Amino acid sequence: MIAELKRLFVGQPLATEQLAHERLSKRIALAVFSSDALSSVAYATEAILIALAVAGANALNLVTPIALGIGLLLITVAFSYRQTIIAYPQGGGTYIVSRENLGTIPSLVAASSLLIDYILTVAVSMSAAVAAITSAVRPLEPYRVELAIGLIGLVTLANLRGIKESGQIFAVPTYLFIFSTLGLIGAGLYQVITGQVSPAPPPAITHIPEQLQGLSLFLILRAFAAGCTALTGIEAISDGVPAFKKPESRNASLTLIAMVIILCTMFIGITVLADAYNIIPDGSLQPETANSQLARAIFGSGTLFYYILQIATMLILVLASNTAFADFPRLNYFLASDRFLPRQFAQRGDRLVFSNGVVALGIFSAILVIVFGAREQALLPLYAIGVFTSFTLSQFGMVQRWRRIKTPGWQRNATINSLGAAVTGLVLLVLAATKFTEGAWAVIVLIPFLVVILRSIHGHYMAVAKQLSLAGAPPPTAVRRHTAVVLISGVHRGVIPALQYALSLAPDNATAVYVDMDADATAKIKAKWEQWGCGVPLVVLESPYRSLVRPLMQYIDEMDALYDDDVLTIILPEFIPSKWWQHLLHNQTALLIKGTLLFSRGKVVTSVPYHLDD
Amino acid sequence: MIAELKRLFVGQPLATEQLAHERLSKRIALAVFSSDALSSVAYATEAILIALAVAGANALNLVTPIALGIGLLLITVAFSYRQTIIAYPQGGGTYIVSRENLGTIPSLVAASSLLIDYILTVAVSMSAAVAAITSAVRPLEPYRVELAIGLIGLVTLANLRGIKESGQIFAVPTYLFIFSTLGLIGAGLYQVITGQVSPAPPPAITHIPEQLQGLSLFLILRAFAAGCTALTGIEAISDGVPAFKKPESRNASLTLIAMVIILCTMFIGITVLADAYNIIPDGSLQPETANSQLARAIFGSGTLFYYILQIATMLILVLASNTAFADFPRLNYFLASDRFLPRQFAQRGDRLVFSNGVVALGIFSAILVIVFGAREQALLPLYAIGVFTSFTLSQFGMVQRWRRIKTPGWQRNATINSLGAAVTGLVLLVLAATKFTEGAWAVIVLIPFLVVILRSIHGHYMAVAKQLSLAGAPPPTAVRRHTAVVLISGVHRGVIPALQYALSLAPDNATAVYVDMDADATAKIKAKWEQWGCGVPLVVLESPYRSLVRPLMQYIDEMDALYDDDVLTIILPEFIPSKWWQHLLHNQTALLIKGTLLFSRGKVVTSVPYHLDD
């Protein structure tokens, strides 16, 4: 039944040979790889506004210069990543680049940052997607968390079925978002130029506090740091170079340039308009997004254009979280192949996707959504730390690479990447300092913790491989003598085959053991043993504390000590009901005993089944 | 580690012989058995007031005549139970009485009602206990659910350790509650008589709606039904007769009379005063209890007497839920002994208590508390249905008993019990009709559903017993021939002992099987097999869909079909890490294969362990 449900939702299994790779045109690749980066336009401007609001309404005008600064940062980082694209036509994910150029520990730091980053991408994007909808349809607001969890469930399921990171399907929402946002910006600028601006009415409750803080450098840096979430996702193209049509590097590089131009235009455009329309971020418990306020001010509430923009925003955010569903399992696969994560993450499921990674991402992001009540602005302070850690490591890895391989023009290349590493590293410090108390501390604590876990897992796998290696193993020795102990809980038909099995294995060394819990039952068993014991001696153990396991283990250890050259087999007669739910009705003692025996050295455990009819 | 935590919280195991029974004096027995009944005074009057409030403030005056009616009902039911006490000195629980006199189905209806009833006793009592406290300390109100869950957790833990249903410890809160309530009533009556009554100010939000309903018979019956929760728990003494000092029946009977007098006095006293002081039930989301309003009106807010009364109310309610923790596991034990519930419920845990029943009650009642937000007034409509079903069946069972055994004076006895059965049956109908839409429907649906479950469990146990019976079993036949299949996932040290074991079992019929998932790995294994295969032939299976289990099961079935007179043993080499958490790092495939084999007929499954060092 469970198998049928799985077929229904996840689909028929696919054969390994169906694993195929589609090559993407630049137009489609832009849609596929840029949704994560472009979608950050949905929340980045508001994040800056919220950070500035503590210094009052006048401070909000700083949003434009801050956005210009972030635009500059964006271009610097993009130049840096262009080098990665050229150097790694096989795909230059941060983990790969830092493993190759910086060594194990930095690569694990990068991996930990990325794992956290992908989980946050899903949580932030899905929360922001829901915010875009609840801003337009206010009565849905109380169901934020449910809606976000529902979206995560849908995308998880779609990825378990195996959505290809490609196809026309991705192009529609991305281009819809790009064109509707550019439309908004165009309409807004037209109103600004023609002097028709009617500033948005401030929300009932704003983020501006009663007691204003003075405008300090710290505050400006914090607003800058808040806006840096606009950069999340720009590394996606460098991870995905092999998916481009030939010449891969050139096409990827051109796509990156196109993406950065579009992203800068949209981000700065929205920010300038938010400034011009005096958008004040909504500080209520049911906030409307700043973008929604702006769109209503420009297009008017309830207009078709307004709704199209909100729907396009939701769709691209869902798409953005979908890219994390491709990247997270793939990173898990790399880590598991290198034995830093359990092997289960390296296996493709029925539908050729890394199902365990997909499920893990769904669960972790859903937990974050619940904990943060699906409020993307509350999640953002955690978000950027992981992203900038991985930016810095990736760029620094490139610098080391140039210094190592010294290809022609390496000095120039190294300089560009050094600049990238320095700038992103500096931003990382600013982020950590200004967002520390808002939640960034959790990520700063979590990254080294994850590194330790990954290393312990690796250590364990290496130790096991060494112990299991046959190099220098002694030649196999045959089993000389068998001893068998049959554990019984009564005398019934299920016991007979187990006794016969024990006799066939160890004709002279078989015993049956019973734990006395009730004098009457024991007397009955002793009486039946004459006829049905098959000549196997019966041992009855006392148990003053009603424990089954303790006296049994003691007896088994005594039997084990009897001979040096034997193999001790514990035989469990198990009667198997015909339906799975009926298992719940029988004592789970066999399971408990097997679990205990697992940790007791050198005992072979044998289940002899007796199948019941309906 | 888990075992140590269990020792810390639950205590050292107790030996079976430490199981002992204490006999109770009347004074102590009153405290032990009457907490459930007496504690209903904490919410019953308010329940009537809430039901009347829909007809406006004037209708609230009907509370006094309704309470007098309920008092009459109480006395009738008590007379009826007095007969049970005399007839069943060994303890006349409803399940026992109806099983003996009415047959299986009625006894299962009684059992289902009681199971629901006990869970509701805990949920209602703990919610009311919290309400008593939050009424006095208003800032605690938002933490109702957490407090109630905390109390349930504490009482569950105490019962897992094994609180005896006895002792001075129970007497203190019960008598404190009796005396402080009687003090309240005395003080109130004094104020009424001397004309010093200052009516309580009405709460900000009341249960009186804008649109009043007309006062109908239905509404009065609904208010009466709401007050019937005052009767919950009066059957406790008849269940516990054997715990009394000799002569048991006489002492129990006297205690019952004392309890009914006290209960009537307190319930009618509080109701009359609530009427005199114009108490209007608080309809806000953070309600204060009616009893707290009354106590503040009489003693004054913040007075010592007021706080003592609230604390005493909380304590007796906690005690009331504790009685359910004694009764629910005991009923589970009876049902499990009769094979209507899984056997696990019939076993005493380390501390000689029926731990599984205690834990089940804790979990179910906690779920109810969460679902109903720890609001006892919302839970009450569900509560009384189970109680009155069991009252009716119990009394009707007594009638059947008198008609069967015909002891001297049986006609008079049968008449008393018939009256009891008729009255409680009538109230049951009133309850079901008037409270149906308020939640009683859920209990009315659940009772037959539980009956069906109990019967299916019984049916399954009987079918198993029949199939396992050795009566008419053929004489045992020896095992003639062994076939062994070793499942391998690689060639390493852990495989060698499994191969040797297979050879010792079936020297000529042993094969090793490997599923090809990756051509490189398969080639390596084939190469190693020459040296380390111990002469066992290796079979490599193809798996186009990357499934491990399907090709293996197919091969095993083929091997099974090979001979008719053999026993097929599937041997799994398992390497066992030294620490439990390390298990998570290895493929759970062995577990999956064992699970699948369990349902495949007639295969013996053997685990040959290879233990790893740290």
| DSSP line for A372-427 | TTT-HHHHHHHHHHHHHHHHHHHHHHHHHHHHHH--TTHHHHHHHHHHHHHHHHHH
Residues of chain B contacting A532 with CB distance shorter than 8 Å: 470, 473, 476
Residue type, A171: A
Give Cα B28 distance to the centre of its chain: 26
Q: A172-188 in b/e burial notation, b at 16+ Cβ within 10 A?
A: ebbebbbebbebbbeeb
pLDDT of residue A167: 60
Do the Cβ atoms of A512 and A537 come closer than 8 Å?
A: yes
Residues of chain A contacting B585 with CB distance shorter than 8 Å: 342-343, 457, 460-461
User: Given CA atoms B143, B146, B152, B154 in this order, what sign does their dihedral have?
Assistant: negative
Residues paired with A571 in a beta bridge: A486, A606
| Segment A400-409, tens digit of pLDDT | 999 999 988 8
Q: Number of Cβ pairs closer than 8 Å across A and B?
A: 183
| Segment A428-464, tens digit of pLDDT | 999 999 999 988 999 999 999 999 999 999 999 898 8
A469, closest residue in chain B (CA to CA): B492
Where helices occur in A103-247 by DSSP H, the ranges are: 104-136, 144-161, 168-193, 217-227, 236-239
Q: For all residues of chain A together, what is the average pLDDT?
A: 90
| Segment A204-236, tens digit of pLDDT | 888 888 888 888 999 999 999 999 999 998 888
CA angle B26, B237, B323 (to 5 degrees): 100
- Burial class, B194, CB count within 10 angstroms (exposed 0-12 / middle 13-18 / buried 19+): exposed
Helix H or strand E segment including A606 = strand A603-611
B:475-514 residues touching chain A, CB 8 A cutoff:
476-479, 482, 491-494, 496, 499-501, 503-505
The number of CA neighbours under 13 Å toward the Cβ of A222 is 21
- The C-alpha atoms of residue A385 and residue A392 are separated, in whole angstroms, by 11
Residues of chain A contacting B580 with CB distance shorter than 8 Å: 599
Encoded tokens for A478: 């045959």
The one-character DSSP state at A213 is: P
Q: Examine the pLDDT at A120 and tell me if it is beyond 80.
A: yes
- The C-alpha atoms of residue A564 and residue A558 are separated, in whole angstroms, by 12
Q: Examine the pLDDT at B260 and tell me if it is beyond 60.
A: yes
B528, closest residue in chain A (CA to CA): A470
Q: What is the pTM of this model?
A: 0.78
A529, closest residue in chain B (CA to CA): B470
A493, closest residue in chain B (CA to CA): B468
Q: B451-463 in b/e burial notation, b at 16+ Cβ within 10 A?
A: beebeebbebbeb
The percent of residues above 70 in pLDDT, for chain A, comes to: 97
Sheet strand arrangement including A510-516:
A538-542, A510-516, A481-487, A566-576, A603-611, B603-611, B566-576, B481-487, B510-516, B538-542
Q: For all residues of chain B together, what is the average pLDDT?
A: 90
H helix and E strand count, chain A: 21, 5
Q: Is A467 on the interface with B (CB under 8 A)?
A: yes
Q: Is B472 on the interface with A (CB under 8 A)?
A: no
- Under an 8 A CB cutoff, do B500 and A491 touch? no
- The C-alpha atoms of residue A333 and residue A354 are separated, in whole angstroms, by 7
User: Given CA atoms A328, A329, A335, A338 in this order, what sign does their dihedral have?
Assistant: negative
Confidence label for B259 from pLDDT (cuts 50, 70 and 90): very high
Q: Is A457 on the interface with B (CB under 8 A)?
A: yes
Give Cα B66 distance to the centre of its chain: 32
Secondary structure (3-state) at B377: helix
Phi, psi of A198 (to 5 degrees): -115, 105
Cis peptide before A247 (omega within 30 of 0): yes
- The C-alpha atoms of residue A516 and residue A524 are separated, in whole angstroms, by 11
Q: Examine the pLDDT at A165 and tell me if it is beyond 60.
A: no
Do the Cβ atoms of B41 and B74 come closer than 8 Å?
A: no
Long-range CB contacts (within 8 A, 24+) of B556-559: B556/B485, B556/B597, B556/B600, B556/B603, B557/B600, B559/B483, B559/B485, B559/B511
Residue type, B611: H
Residue from the list B348, B470, B599 with its beta carbon closest to the beta carbon of A546: B348
| Segment B392-446, tens digit of pLDDT | 999 999 999 999 999 888 999 999 999 999 999 999 999 999 999 988 999 999 9
| Segment B161-211, tens digit of pLDDT | 876 545 667 788 999 999 999 999 999 999 999 998 888 888 888 888 888
Secondary structure (3-state) at B41: helix
- The C-alpha atoms of residue B187 and residue A167 are separated, in whole angstroms, by 82
- Under an 8 A CB cutoff, do A504 and B567 touch? yes
- Under an 8 A CB cutoff, do A608 and B604 touch? yes
Residues whose CB is less than 8 angstroms from the CB of residue B34 and which lie 6 or more positions away in sequence, other chains included? B174, B233, B236, B237, B255, B259, B262, B263
Residue from the list B14, B534, B604 with its beta carbon closest to the beta carbon of A607: B604
Residues paired with B566 in a beta bridge: B481
Mean per-residue pLDDT, A393-422: 92
- Under an 8 A CB cutoff, do A493 and B612 touch? no
| Segment B520-537, tens digit of pLDDT | 889 999 999 988 999 999
- Under an 8 A CB cutoff, do A494 and B347 touch? no
The percent of residues above 90 in pLDDT, for chain B, comes to: 62
Q: Examine the pLDDT at A166 and tell me if it is beyond 60.
A: no
- The predicted complex's ipTM stands at 0.79
- Min Cα distance A478 → chain B (Å) is 6
Of the listed ranges A236-245, A373-382, B405-414, the least confidently predicted one is: A236-245
Do the Cβ atoms of A96 and A390 come closer than 8 Å?
A: no
What do you get for the CA distance between the two ends of chain B, in Å? Answer: 18
Q: What is the dihedral of CA B494, B498, B500, B505, to 10 degrees?
A: 170
pLDDT of residue B20: 63
- The C-alpha atoms of residue A365 and residue A130 are separated, in whole angstroms, by 14
Instruction: Give strand ranges (E) for A440-599.
Output: 481-487, 510-516, 538-542, 566-576
Select from B207, B269, B283 the least CA-distant residue to B64. B269
Residues of chain B contacting A607 with CB distance shorter than 8 Å: 594, 598, 604-606
How many residues are present in chain A? 614
Of the listed ranges A519-523, A599-603, B126-130, the least confidently predicted one is: A599-603
What angle do helix axes B376-405 and B217-227 make, rounded to 10 degrees? 80
Encoded tokens for B244: 């009394």
The percent of residues above 90 in pLDDT, for chain A, comes to: 62
The number of CA neighbours under 13 Å toward the Cβ of A538 is 23
Q: B467-476 in b/e burial notation, b at 16+ Cβ within 10 A?
A: bbeeeeeeee
Secondary structure (3-state) at B483: strand
- Under an 8 A CB cutoff, do A609 and B587 touch? no
Confidence label for A598 from pLDDT (cuts 50, 70 and 90): confident
Do the Cβ atoms of B63 and B271 come closer than 8 Å?
A: yes
- Min Cα distance A490 → chain B (Å) is 10
The one-character DSSP state at A167 is: S
- The C-alpha atoms of residue A608 and residue A497 are separated, in whole angstroms, by 7
Of the listed ranges A512-521, B45-54, B98-107, the least confidently predicted one is: A512-521
